[in-house]
Structure 1
Amino acid sequence: MELLGIHHLSAFTANAQKNLDFYTKILGMRMVKKTVNQDDPSVYHLFYGDEVGNPGTELTFFEIPRAGQNHDGNNSISTTSLRVPNDEALDYWKTRLDEYDVENDGIIEQFGRKVIPFKDFEKQRLMLVSDETNKGVAGGTPWERSAANPNYGIIGLGPIHLTIPELEPTEAILTKLMGFRRAGEYLHHSTGREVIVYETGEGGTGAELHIHVRTDLPRERLGRGGVHHVAFRVENEEKIREYLEELNQLGIGNSGFVDRFYFRSVYFREPNGILFELATDGPGFATDEDANHLGESLALPPFLESRRDQIENNLKPIDYKP
């Protein structure tokens, strides 16, 4: 079975309002859903994406208000890439990041592409990557009302970086279960160490994992500025159930079938302990809101709707004017 690419990535923040301001006002992404963590409705779950939050464009954050700082390390999702249309866009973004005093390494080359490594206000490890030479999975469409120039806007998630101590068991899951194939390697710009690239589906920036093998790092301790899990695109619920059956046959522990209302999922941990999710492309974020007004009010899945008053009373209001 073959995955279609990256679906979404979920990280931690300790401050929903500052997070919202950074990703919408500085990075110009659209907040496509303001909801809660379905497993803990006392905290926000914010979704950012392209014009309607198409699969492959969604960067999401759980708010954990008292979370300590992430301690970067091994067994982790160590960098999240965001795609922009071309090399010219990176010139725009270098100027914009500097204008807003966003920590960045400037424009460099990585795996034959131009990129800008940078960090948000909580030291979340991020990277803008140019789609100038991309021939794989197509990107999304920036929101025309973006705070950033939509001609240069973020069009989706790019390569996701994993840092692990043992390659072989993870490679086996990627290639034998998930349909990934080895696509090449390069030397990392700051460590000088080899990074191995795997791709799935149509390949390209929207369907890659970049794996750093490190035996010299302590295990990462998750906190604000860290990443919880990465999700991969699966066509529909039927395919999810086929994957679930295969996971069970292989004896790989998993969540079982999960209905997230906006998509259907199954979760499991790969051998180095990183949490993977397989998620369907639909139904999508316009299921319970008009596409023109996504993210403007608190959206709750049907099974939480009866608790709306209690949930809203426990959340600190956040100010969002799209």
Structure 2
Amino acid sequence: MSQFGIHHVTAISGEARRNVDFYTRILGLRLVKKTVNFDDPGAWHLYYGDEAGTPGTILTFFPWAQAAEGRLGAGELQETVFRVPQASVGFWTHRLTAAGVPELTRSERFGETVLSFRDPDGMRLALLGMAGIEREPGWASAEIPAEHALRGFHSVSLMLEDSAATGAILSDVLGFAEAAREGHVTRFQAPGTAVGGIVDLRAVGGFLRGRMGRGSVHHLAFRAADDAAEAEMVRKLAANHGIATTEQKDRNYFRSVYFREPGHVLFEIATDAPGFAVDEPAERLGQTLKLPHFLEPQRAEIESHLPALS
């Protein structure tokens, strides 16, 4: 059966230790994989998510301590929104206030309550209170009971000069359909996808272009059930939209292709398989450094240069 929606979001952070502390302690996500940037093995690639590292819950980071601060603008992913039970909004308001997170605000969007804030590097995040998800499993941490835990992605929002061409790709290739409009925002939803099933396109014609850096989202990945589904998406992109992807790249936990969509955001299509338990038991996810086979001969050197995480 075809499965659509968001697979993961990958962002750029500053200091790695601070990143781990914020996402595991303050937000209570599970660190499901510690590996390195395959293209820059001197830097960590850290994956956070739910207990199993389920597609639609995964937020990943390239921590580059010396990265300059990014500037939000057109052609970027603006905000990453997580789901929480509606009854947990008060818990999270208190917790984030006590933690002193920057720019904490409460608002209503499409009739739902949203808590917006930034992480220590300026990345824009939000928690959205949803009814009816209380019984979904939650990853309990030392400070956050399972009933209040984040339940994967609700949505992401993209800032685009014009949203029409991007919307066409979401609809024709990536399994989404236009669901609602509010002001300059058009909401696309993947039918039947509860977690990571929404992409909001915000048209901001004339807005300054974004500048990638610390606090910026590097790319947005969408789900493909398997290699065949991914290949069909690649075919549609070329045939219907004149867009070529990269060759397929093996990322150990999924197989991916990349392309720059018409609004200039870097998109990835990633397979659900094989998942994060392919190289370590599910109960021990994220506890040790995992390297792809081609980097194993350099393990000692890589480990000696990676910054401490705790």
TM bucket, shorter chain: over 0.9
Which residue of the partner structure matches residue 114 of structure 2? Answer: 115
Match for residue 92 of structure 1?
A: 91
- The answer to whether residue 298 in structure 2 is matched with residue 318 in structure 1 is no
- Structure 2 letter corresponding to 1:55: P
The 5 A counterparts of 1:53-202 are 53-84=53-84, 86-132=85-131, 141-187=137-183, 194-202=184-192
Aligned residue for 1:273? 264
Alpha-carbon distance in 1 for matches of 2:132, 2:185: 20
Higher mean alpha-carbon deviation, 240-249 vs 253-262, is at 240-249
Q: Aligned partner of 2:221: which letter?
A: A
> Residue 315 of structure 1: CA displacement?
0.9
Residue 311 of structure 1 and its aligned partner are, at CA, apart by 1.3
Task: Please state if 1:207 is matched with 2:207.
Answer: no
CA positional deviation for 1:34: 0.7
- TM superposition shift of 1:98: 0.7
Quick check: 2:152–2:195 contact (8 Å CA) kept in 1?
Answer: no
Q: For 2:234, which of 231, 236, 244 is the aligned residue?
A: 244
Partner of 1:227: 217
Change (3 A) 1:163 1:207: same
Paired positions, count: 309
Q: Which amino acid aligns with 1:210?
A: D
Distance change (3 Å), C-alpha of 1:201 and 1:171: same
Q: CA deviation at 1:203?
A: 4.6
Report how far residue 67 of structure 1 moved: 0.7
Aligned pairs for 1:236-315 (under 5 A) are 236-250=226-240, 251-315=242-306
Deviations 1:206-259 (A, max 9, x none): 211111111232100011011001111111122112222333445412111111
| Equivalent pair of 1:2/1:178 in contact (CA under 8 Å) | no
Q: Check the 8 A contact 1:29/1:142 in 2, yes or no.
A: no
Q: Distance in 2 between matches of 1:286 and 1:89?
A: 30
Q: Structure 2: how far apart are the matches of 1:133 and 1:139?
A: 8
Q: Does the 8 Å CA contact 1:167/1:213 hold for their aligned counterparts?
A: yes
Deviates more, 1:18-27 or 1:278-287: 278-287
1:70-93 Cα distance to aligned partner (Å, 9 max, x none)? 111111100001111x21111110
User: CA shift at 1:2, angstroms?
Assistant: 6.5
Stretch moving more, 304-313 or 259-268:
304-313
- Identity across matched positions, percent: 39
Q: Is the 8 A contact 2:159 2:201 kept in 1?
A: yes
Counterpart residue type for residue 65 of structure 2:
P
Contact 2:96/2:104 (<8 A) preserved:
no
Any idea what the Cα deviations from partners look like across 1:2-44, whole Å, max 9, x if unmatched?
Answer: 6511110000001110000000010011100011011111111
Amino acid at match of 2:16: A
CA distance in 2, matches of 1:112, 1:236: 35
- State the 1:288 CA deviation: 0.7
Secondary structure, counterpart of 1:170 in structure 2: helix
Which secondary structure does the structure 1 equivalent of 2:196 belong to? helix
Which residue does 1:17 correspond to in 2? 17
RMSD over aligned Cα, in angstroms?
2.0
SS of the residue 1:4 aligns to = coil
- Counterpart CA distance in 1 for 2:155 and 2:146 is 21
Structure 1 residue 105: Cα displacement: 3.6
| CA–CA separation in structure 1 for the residues paired with 2:105 and 2:225 | 37
TM (norm. structure 1) is 0.90
Q: What secondary structure sits across from 1:107 in the alignment?
A: strand
- SS state at 2:234 partner: helix
Alpha-carbon separation, structure 2, partners of 1:275 and 1:146? 35
- Give, in angstroms, the shift of residue 53 of structure 1: 0.9
Shift, 1:146, TM fit: 4.8
Structure 1 residues 90 and 104, CA, compared in 2 at 3 Å: closer, same or farther? Answer: farther
Give the direction of change, closer, same or farther, for the CA distance of 1:139–1:3 in structure 2 (3 Å limit). Answer: farther
Deviations 1:103-150 (A, max 9, x none): 24443221121110111111110010122167xxx9963223453222
**Letter of the 2:37 counterpart:** N
SS at match of 2:65: coil
Give, as a single letter, the amino acid of the residue that structure 2 aligns with 1:128.
L
Say whether the 8 Å CA contact 1:139–1:156 is kept in structure 2.
Answer: no
Give how far 1:201 is off. 3.4
